[in-house]
Structure formats: C-alpha cells, structure tokens
Structure 1
C-alpha cells in the first residue's frame, strides 16, 4: 500500500507541479506598479500603472500582424453580510495594439483614438497606464464598506479563431493582474 502511494506521488507529482509552475511564470509578466483611488470632480478616480513583459509567443504574433487587445476593468462593490456583495458600478477600457509593417510602427487604439509609436516599449507604456479614470459618481458610494476590484489582462478571446484552439492552458498567453482596493473615506 505504501509503495502504491509513493508510485502515485512520483507519477502525479510532475503533473501537479506543471499546473503550479506556469502561474508563477506569468505572474512576473504583468505586475502593478501603481494603483490608487481618489475623489475628485464628483467622481471616484482610478490611477493605475502596469509593468508588462510580453512573452515571446505574444511578441512573435504581434510582429506577424496579429492585433492584441488589452482590457482594464474596475468594479465598485459594496460589502453585505446577508448576501453577495452588491455591484455599484462597472467600467471597462479596451486597447488594441497592432504592428503596422509598411511603416514599421506600433499603433495603439482606445475607442476612436489612435496613436502611432516607433517602438514596442513606447506602445506598451501608452496602453498600460491611466490617470484620472472615472469609475463611479461619488453619490453612488456609501460612507463605509465599498471596495474596487481592478483587473488588467490580455484578452485572448479576441484573437483570431485558429489561434484560440491551443490556448487553454498555454501559460505564454496569460497576462493578467488583479487587485482589490478599499475606497478611501471622504
């Protein structure tokens, strides 16, 4: 019986570690360097800055003309003891990053606005930070117990369908950072 447990441990150990190791690898690809909430202009404002280190597979796809979408989302919630926490407000921003091979420039689009950059680090810097982003109106907030769930991620669901086939479980394509932050008192 003891040999059997040892054999299972030897056989399943690498498989189990295989599920743990990629998580630590991608955790270093995206990290928050700044996340702050403030009150101003009648709204709750969010400032964030994410440090991005693109995995080689993502960078190769970008060089070949595949656009990538990065999404920042913030959800304001109110704590409740009797039920799930109530959602007060939810906002989302989506950036599109694409390489323009004819001009050898990087194009970052946010809604109808677009900017061209000469290098990939410049383009990543423009899409990985935001200041003064209004999350909700101050009138929606309670005096106590509200918090913000923030997430910044690479949206792999917007990739071309053939590229999505092998993605589930591919750690090279997981760029995500999440944080929870208490709303400051007025």
Structure 2
C-alpha cells in the first residue's frame, strides 16, 4: 500500500545514520486495532559492533505515538506503545541473543522478557529491524472521518548501558535515532 507520508530523519552525521530509514510501511485494521507493519533499515557502527563482540549488550527502543489531528486545538494524543530490545553476543556459545520487553531492562527486573538466539549478527538485527503487527491505535479510537499522525521512532538507548560505557556513548558512532511521521486516514487503510 502506498501511503501519503511525510517525515523527518533525526540523527547526526555518522555513516550508519545516513542510510537509516523506514521502508515498506503499511497500516491495516486487524481485529481490535489499527496495526503497523514494515522495516527499519540501519547498520551499526564499527565501535558498537566491537563493543558487542566483547560481550557487552546494546539496547534499542522502538516507540510509536498516535495523535488525532484537530483544526480547533492542538492534536490529541491517543495511543503510545514501546518495545525495549537488548542485543548481546554470547562469546562462549558464539550466538547472538535478542531480548524484547515492554519495560526497560534493569538488573533487578523480573518482568516478561522474550528471548531468541541467532547464529549471526545480521539475523539478530533483522528481528530488531522488523515491525510486525504493531498496534498503533485501538479500534474504538478509529474514526473514518479523522486524520491521524503516527510518530514512529527507533533509537539506540545509551541510558541502559553500563555506567562506564555511557561516557563514550555520546559520540556520533553511538548515535542511532530513526524517526518518521506517517499520516493515516481512511484512504490509507483502504489501500492495504
């Protein structure tokens, strides 16, 4: 489905950020909600990959915020959703692990976490880069006459890194922040 889209990509001049972008994004009404499917293309910088190979996990956050456009007042926020992901290399097993959770990872947290192991970094990253059946709006909040904006963002979350790594994480090599705003109307859903 070809959506009417406008967007901005916000990040520094690092090499991996220049090619980072959302692609093949579509929205559809699926049962109880409006859902988003698509991909986010990006590559990790060499310093981030080297850190991973040393067994230090790296954290990502994917989030969407959906607002309804109003001509008489500011836009009203309707739905926000986040997923936290941890990517780690297990040197003894020579495997890559992706953990996903609805809450930030912390050393004392016992929340629900999904784990998946992979043989290569590319395979592990493909899970982080894929948006599948992601809820952006409840069906009750959908109106065929309204215009919505879905703000989607994937970023490298350096705040969850170990203390000493946070100091060096301010460089452009550690900056990955892909953002895009999608306009969503009844016509956009009809094209799915």
1:107 aligns with 2:100: no
Q: TM-score by structure 2 length?
A: 0.79
Matches within 5 A, 1:29-48: 29-48=19-38
Which of 74, 79, 83 does residue 64 from structure 2 map onto?
A: 74
User: Offset of 1:63 from its aligned partner?
Assistant: 0.6
- Equivalent in the alignment of 2:167: 165
User: Offset of 1:44 from its aligned partner?
Assistant: 0.6
Q: Aligned equivalents of 1:38 and 1:55: distance in 2? A: 34
Q: Aligned equivalents of 2:24 and 2:154: distance in 1? A: 12
More helix, by proportion: 1
Matches within 5 A, 1:1-186: 22-23=12-13, 25-111=15-101, 112-142=113-143, 143-168=145-170, 170-185=171-186
Task: For structure 2, list consecutive stretches of 5 or more residues without a partner in the other structure.
Answer: 1-10, 102-112
User: Offset of 1:22 from its aligned partner?
Assistant: 4.4
Name the SS for the 2:87 alignment partner. strand
- Specify whether residues 24 and 110 from structure 1 end up closer, same or farther in structure 2 by C-alpha distance, changes over 3 A only: closer
Q: TM-score by structure 1 length?
A: 0.81
What do the CA deviations read for 1:59-86 (whole angstroms, capped 9, x no partner)?
0110111111111111100123344321
Name the SS for the 1:23 alignment partner. coil
Q: Contact 1:74–1:149 (CA<8 Å) still a contact in 2? A: yes
Corresponding pairs, count: 165
Which has the higher relative contact order, 1 or 2, with Cα contacts under 8 A spaced 6 or more apart? 2
- Specify whether residues 136 and 62 from structure 1 end up closer, same or farther in structure 2 by C-alpha distance, changes over 3 A only: same
RMSD: 1.9
- Specify whether residues 37 and 152 from structure 1 end up closer, same or farther in structure 2 by C-alpha distance, changes over 3 A only: same
Q: Contact 2:64–2:80 (CA<8 Å) still a contact in 1? A: yes
Q: Aligned equivalents of 1:158 and 1:24: distance in 2? A: 21
- Specify whether residues 147 and 78 from structure 1 end up closer, same or farther in structure 2 by C-alpha distance, changes over 3 A only: same
Q: Aligned equivalents of 2:85 and 2:163: distance in 1? A: 19
- Specify whether residues 149 and 22 from structure 1 end up closer, same or farther in structure 2 by C-alpha distance, changes over 3 A only: closer
Which structure would you say has the larger Rg? 1
